A and B are shown apart, each in its own frame.
Chain A
Amino acid sequence: MAIEQDEIEKIAALARIRIQPAQIGRVTQRITEILHMVDQLQAVDTSDVEPMANPLDAIQVLRADEVTEVNRREAFQAIAPAVENGLYLVPKVIE
């Protein structure tokens, strides 16, 4: 499948990655090459094949409902870019 530059822009917006206008053409070209390679999959008949999400087809083990964590806010926020009064700060969010 060929991909157009505006699609790349849409995908980049979804992924929250800014791409410099000067680079968008190159990025589009590289991704087109990758998608071209990946397109070999389309030729395979998989109509009766169950998708495989886990290589061992294992099932979930459940955890007992117990509190095992202690408050480590100080350690976690020591490595945060911006905190105040125990809160992480971000530019104003408008709902």
Chain B
Amino acid sequence: MHDKTVAQLTAGLQTGQFSSAELTRCFLDRIASLDSRYNSFISVADEQAMAAARAADERIAAGDAGPLTGIPIAHKDIFCTDGLRTSCGSRMLDNFVPPYDATLVTRLNRDGVVALGKTNMDEFAMGSSNENSFYGPVRNPWDTSAVPGGSSGGSAAAVAAGLAPAATGTDTGGSIRQPAAFCGITGLKPTYGRVSRLGMVAFASSLDQAGPMARTAEDCALLLNSMAGHDPQDSTSSQVPTEDYCARLADSLQGLRIGLPREYFGAGLDPATAACIDQALKELEALGATLVEVSLPHSHLTIPTYYVIAPAEASTNLSRYDGVRYGYRCEQPTDLLDLYTRTREEGFGEEVKRRILVGTYALSAGYYDAYYKKAQQVRRLIKQDFIDCFGQVDVIAGPTTPGPAFALGSKSDDPVAMYLEDIYTLAVNLAGLPGMSVPAGMVGGKPVGLQLIGQHFGEARLLNVGHRFQQATDWHARRPADPAVEAA
């Protein structure tokens, strides 16, 4: 059961091949026996999951089931879950059990999804390797000496390892797409505002966006159908109507114009990865698409722009962690200042503190214009590059990452080198566009991701391209060696 797609599991549940309780038990057992290898879960919700599965089985029996009813999934530990610890990968929230659900969780619950538990992540979603977690690094199921990517590394690893058929993630600068690429799964970051941010622990408000991570584009579409939509409690949530993201999956790619930004294929891209991407593009051409070279001339500014805006917003979003109302509080504070400074020193990890300091600096008197305002201006230039491109093409394609998953520890002591890993993913967040990574090859036994970038609210088109590509290839169907099978 664990190697099926969501769509296959839905069919199995609805035809009575297995119950949600059996399915859920299967995944909980796999997590219990295998996750010590990957460390992809922070919390496992055994009892709640089984109760939800039994409730789902009743709905199925009563004929009141949708496509997700009874499907187990894992939530990134950034989404607040009522009664279930939500740590955000931080010591600061190690003891935090929210008395409320994120809107995304509410929506998925309403559709009968079974939450298996909460997945590991870089602390407060700040990282590209999942090494910045209070709960320790996650290991890549394809190569346990490599990182799974980040910040949604636990979700990506859990899906890749067959510990969950699908998972939720968040993407502020590539945190869905990059781990999806590193772990050989499909991940979609929707348009900014497509999925509610309410109850999702904030990193950078104007960049954060939640999305699905699964084996296939079709599974992502099924999940997005439940997740997407306006939330009156999130002012930045879009009122643009949603659509049935499954409806156009099988549309022909004949006449599709795909833009290839020359800046995404230059120096810095690993040649073997480039070869995989080229092959994938040929596949799309064979499916009827036309490849057009385009340019995103401000691409070289995406990293500096992002590393001003994201830390600036984060620096104040994280001010609420002060040891007063919830979360970590230092022992025996001597006075108010000691309570604040020691709680935040001890509660936050190194990378989080570094970004808070950078962000505080960028917003401080005398530097605001040179950093924050400047970055906001360049951000508009970056967005305009995309708008100009979309005058010529329907979607943009390129590599998700400069290369396959790197070794654990290889970049953890060099923040700037780590930031460079996000070179191809950041611009999508800055421009608020939807972006997707689909498995597109293997390099040295590790997966490579093809990134597809759509126009604002063009999720259905991206999913269509991804689905047609997956109909013609089998990269998404490849699985890392399963220790459970080896043991048996």
Contacts and interface: CB of A to CB of B under 8 A. Distances in A.
A is bound by B: yes
Interface of A: 1, 3, 7-8, 11-12, 14-20, 27, 30-31, 33-35, 37-42, 44, 46, 49-56, 58, 60-61, 63, 72, 75-76, 78-82, 88, 90-93
Contacts of A12: 357
B192 A55 contact: yes
Contact of B373 (A14, A51, A79): A51
Contact of B432 (A55, A72, A79, A91): A55
Contacts of B376: 51-53
B193 A79 contact: no
> Which of B319, B373, B379 has the most chain A CB within a 10 Å cutoff?
B379
B289 interface: no
A14 B378 contact: no
B304 A41 contact: yes
Contacts of B282: none
A35 B361 contact: yes
Given A14-B360, A14-B364, A81-B329, A33 B339 contact: no
Interface stretch (B140-148, B231-239, B478-486): B231-239
B389 interface: no
Interface string B307-332: 11000000100010011111101000
A38 B344 contact: no
B258 to A, nearest CB: 22
B371 A44 contact: no
B348 interface: yes
A80 B378 contact: no
Contact of B357 (A27, A46, A72, A75): A27
Interface in B341-375: 341-342, 344-345, 348, 353-354, 356-358, 360-362, 364, 367, 370-371, 373-375
B357 A52 contact: no
A51 B96 CA distance: 36
A57 to B, nearest CB: 9
A11 B336 contact: no
A50 B380 contact: yes
B236 A76 contact: no
Given A44-B374, A56-B238, A49 B415 contact: no
A70 to B, nearest CB: 12
B357 A54 contact: no
Interface in B427-451: 429-433
B236 A58 contact: yes
Given A33-B416, A90-B336, A38 B377 contact: no
Contact of A18 (B344, B358, B370, B379): B344
Interface of B: 95-99, 191-193, 206-207, 232, 235-236, 238-239, 298, 300-301, 303-305, 307-308, 315, 319, 322-327, 329, 333-342, 344-345, 348, 353-354, 356-358, 360-362, 364, 367, 370-371, 373-381, 383, 415-416, 419, 429-433, 456
Given A11-B364, A93-B336, 14 more contacts: A1-B370, A11-B361, A15-B356, A18-B341, A27-B354, A30-B415, A33-B415, A34-B419, A38-B362, A44-B301, A49-B378, A55-B429, A91-B335, A91-B338
B415 A39 contact: no
22 contacts: A12-B357, A14-B360, A16-B319, A17-B353, A17-B356, A18-B345, A31-B358, A34-B354, A41-B301, A41-B374, A44-B377, A51-B373, A52-B380, A55-B379, A61-B232, A61-B235, A80-B324, A81-B324, A88-B325, A90-B324, A91-B335, A92-B336
A81 to B, nearest CB: 4
B411 to A, nearest CB: 13
A79 B96 contact: yes
A82 B358 contact: no
A52 to B, nearest CB: 4
A79 to B, nearest CB: 5
Nearest to B339: A91
Contacts of B315: 15
A92 B415 contact: no
Nearest to A23: B350
Nearest to B414: A33
> Which of A1, A56, A78 has the most chain B CB within a 10 Å cutoff?
A56
Contacts of A8: 357
A40 B342 CA distance: 34
Contacts of B429: 55
Given A37-B419, A81-B323, A90-B339, A56 B192 contact: yes
Contacts of B301: 40-41, 44
Contacts of B433: 55
Nearest to A44: B378
B271 to A, nearest CB: 25
Contact of A54 (B236, B319, B360): B236
B371 A49 contact: no
Contact of A17 (B333, B344, B378): B344
Given A15-B356, A46-B377, A49-B380, A37 B304 contact: yes
Shortest Cβ-Cβ A-B pairs, 9 listed: A55-B432, A51-B376, A46-B377, A81-B329, A18-B341, A52-B380, A16-B340, A18-B345, A75-B99
Contacts of A35: 358, 361
Contacts of A27: 353-354, 357
Given A38-B304, A40-B304, A61-B235, A92 B335 contact: yes
